[in-house]
Amino acid sequence: MSEALFEYRIRRSARSRRLRLRITLEHGLEVLVPPGFKAMTQIPRLLEQKRRWISAALARAEANRTFFDPSLPWRLPETIALPALARHWSVHATPRATTQVRWRARGQDGLAVSGPLDDEAACRAALGRWLTRQAQAQLVPRLQQLSQRTGLRYRRAAVRRQRTRWASCSRTGAISLNVRLLFLPPALADYVLLHELCHTVEMNHSPRFWALLARHCPDYRELDRALREMWERVPRWAR
């Protein structure tokens, strides 16, 4: 138990330049420390300063555990939030003795889901189809807007459900967007799109690439750091 009221674990991070806090479902509160950091007496003071934020973040994590933690029983979400679009949908569930889970739009902000709702794989497949449609309708036009604004041209765009990448760009200028970008805040989603557009010019992470990215996204360093922890925001049904 820490002296600042919270249980936590310390993890050394080669990418950290200062003390940072992170909350995950798997490990709870983590304190990320840079290599060679020895001033451990600073940690309780930091936790005390961030007490309100930590308490609120831990409460949110616990409330959302059912929808993120694969070790808990499956439950269809009651609401779906897509931060990249600044939109929420209410999920209206109707159990039915069918072989397939189906979805249909219910007004502007509702989603009707029916079928064997205790079948996690079938529910995830149906919601994945819905998510892909949202990404195709929203992310690809946004990529086109950013391309026109920056003058960075791509050959074609596709929406996929990649496991480990938010997006990718081929040497032919084809960009693949992960549907899970929809769970990012708008600024982070745009950062990923700009990152891939810059790869249409520089197919590496050389100094020239970062200089090009900085020209179109001056705060890319801060956004890139924030992006590293965003997989935790993707709910269980969308993974």
Domain ranges of the chain: 9-63, 79-128, 134-236
pLDDT band at 22 (very low <50, low <70, confident <90, very high): confident
**Is pLDDT of 32 > 80?**
yes
pLDDT > 90 in the chain, percent: 59
**Where in 166-230 does DSSP place strands (E)?**
167-169, 174-178
Residue 222 neighbours by CB distance under 10 Å: 11
pLDDT band at 3 (very low <50, low <70, confident <90, very high): very low
Classify 205 as helix, strand or coil. coil
Q: What is the C-alpha to C-alpha distance for residues 207 and 211, in angstroms, rounded to an integer?
A: 6
Residue 62 neighbours by CB distance under 10 Å: 11
Q: How much is the average pLDDT of 190-210?
A: 95
- Tokens 């439950």 belong to which residue? 75
The helix (run of H) or strand (run of E) holding residue 211 is helix 207-216
Q: How much is the average pLDDT of 174-200?
A: 96
Check residue 66 and give its pLDDT: 53
Q: How much is the average pLDDT of 123-128?
A: 95
**Is pLDDT of 45 > 70?**
yes
**Is pLDDT of 169 > 50?**
yes
**Is pLDDT of 17 > 90?**
no
Check residue 129 and give its pLDDT: 96
Domain 134-236 class?
alpha beta
pLDDT tens-digit series, residues 220-239:
999 998 888 788 788 888 98
Cα radius of gyration rounded to whole Å, the chain:
20
| Structure tokens that stand for 142 in this block | 């946004």
Q: How many residues does the chain have?
A: 239
- Tokens 């979805």 belong to which residue? 103
Check residue 70 and give its pLDDT: 60
pLDDT tens-digit series, residues 75-108:
899 999 999 999 999 999 999 999 899 999 999 8
Classify 189 as helix, strand or coil. helix
For 16, 76, 77, the CA distances from 181, given in Å and listed in that order, are 24, 21, 19
Backbone φ and ψ for 178, nearest 5 degrees, come out as -80, 130
